[in-house]
Structure 1
Amino acid sequence: MASTTTVLALAAQQRRGNPWLRYLGRRAMYFVASLVVLVTLAFLLVQLIPGDPARASAGELATPEAVEARRIELGLDQPLVVQYLRFWGGVLTGNLGDSFTSRTPVIDVLTTRAPATLELALLAVAVVLVVAIPVGLAFGALTRGQRRPGTEAGFTSISAVVAVIPEFLAGIVLVYLFAVNVQWLPVAGRSDAASYVLPVIALALGPTAALTRIVRAETHTVLEQDYIRTARSRRMSAARLYRRHVLPNLLTSTLTISGLLLGGMIAGTVLVENIFAWPGLGSTIVSSIQGQDFPLVQAIILFYGAAVLLINLVVDVILIVVDPRTALDAA
């Protein structure tokens, strides 16, 4: 009877297949479906922007005949469904049209401006991880078991305030303090290493405080587990305990939140770049909306959305490498 049960269990497992592959396949399907929604929204959102794309492309001084000719050239005289299918064709082939203002291919603008935005976002998330994990772990250890209530109250109050400071407000304050007042750092632009300091801090300040609070709370939870008590009873050193047991168990939640934070940081670059005159996509999309440069607006929306979706997919893959139980639970 036992052997029959074992055979049936193995057969059921074979029918279900590899849980890792099922997990990755499901996430890939979500990614593709999200991309379809993203492309559709990018197409529809630009339709809602006030103004005439044909007029914006032909120029304010163009005659009605020239505007109508430009409308036909751009395919804007076609039904909306036809325009939507043409837009999909451009997305799939990488031909997103030409910028109305610069008359250059949109893809060239993206490849020129995107590196500055990615540098800013990646440096900011590196700062968040390097600061938030050890600081949150340290405060979690200091205040475990309701110890040091004064320290816990001070940490909770300060981190709560810092976590809700908007990027643009942090940027304005940083410019006034360190660029205008004491003149230690440049006000704007992307030149030397010093020009990265203020925009990176403005972008990373709030997420660092938020992630520090999460790491501290997770540290408290992990320290209450039975296996931690067992490790302490074996007189394991504190350094080894935190390195081998506490920190690895923090990674799952930390990586999940970090992926969400990085996606938010990429979106937050729009405000920060405009404050610091950073030559990235954030400042470009604002000028493109003001100038009714519709192809460029659509391309930047697609870039931001695809970057966030890709980050979430990569985080999901990293999670099943760090903690294979993620794939088994989701399968």
Structure 2
Amino acid sequence: MRTAAILGASGYTGAELVRLIATHPGLRIGALTADRKAGSEMRDVFPHLTHLDLPALTRIEDVDFARIDLVFCALPHATTQEVVAELPRDLKVVDLSADFRLEDPAVYERWYGHAHHALALQAEAVYGLTEFYRDRIAPARLVAGTGCNAATGMYAVLPLLADRVIDPDEIIIDLATGVSGAGRSPKEGSLYAEVAEGFHAYNVAAHRHLAEFDQEFSKAAGRSVTCTFTPHLAPQNRGILATVYVRGEAAEIHASLARRYAAEPFLHVLPMGRTPQTRHVRGSNHCHIGVVADRRAGRTMVFAALDNLVKGASGQALQNANLMLGLPETQGLDAAPLFP
């Protein structure tokens, strides 16, 4: 039995980690932190976890890391760099924030508006898109979880770039995401009255996950790739649906995706012409991918749906942690999606 600490356990991704680890046969929770709610019980912060026997929330500086094998950092962006820098070097770390996702510190500074504060750690961080980097993730000390929007688009596109079956200069990603992607902190734009009964684009041409697309698409294609990406806020709690428009033949695209993901336990390519739905992956670590030929010859639409809090964040983090700890990759992640 290995022991994990969750730093930032009072947020949505922290709570999801607790929920997933609760049924994990090889991992237990040894510490939970939440600075503003230190001293509280997890059941008081998240009543749906009342049935679990969990340690009380505490401050990071009060955790005995000598008893911990791996740390999940579910902290706000721009805070994790300094926290990880102070952790014991023998600890394995899975970061769910954006702090270590971008390999080039200059690119990070351009997109996030400040210099990177842990350059030595950035140099050793491994990008946490499990299905594409598992060989590097397994021996890593620090793994940087992907953005949830970024992961959704990458699952639809990366094999196609690697197999050269689409035009790298014609990739358009329209994506709709649930409100929980904005986190649990109170924000005017996340209020029920601001979100319900509406649908709108946000961070148009400026979303920070664009930097991840640029980084990973360019590596897959072996050349510079700049895509178009527009996120939309959907009036739902969970789920992401990406619609990707590409130039390429639908049959070749479907074959490429089916071949690449044939052995993957969580990535499922639907029969040609079928499209995925967020309700069919809700609460799970699964991602459904669909391919539909456009009415115009040589144009294709690729769809991907996943749960932003699970496969897009905490489930992916646990999948990576399993690899890092030498545990079966799917442990704690076998639950079927919740339906209806």
TM-score class, shorter-chain normalisation, is under 0.3
Larger Rg: 1
Q: Which has the higher strand share?
A: 2
Q: Which has the higher contact order (CA 8 A, sep 6+)?
A: 1
Question: If the length of structure 2 is used for normalisation, what is the TM-score?
Answer: 0.22
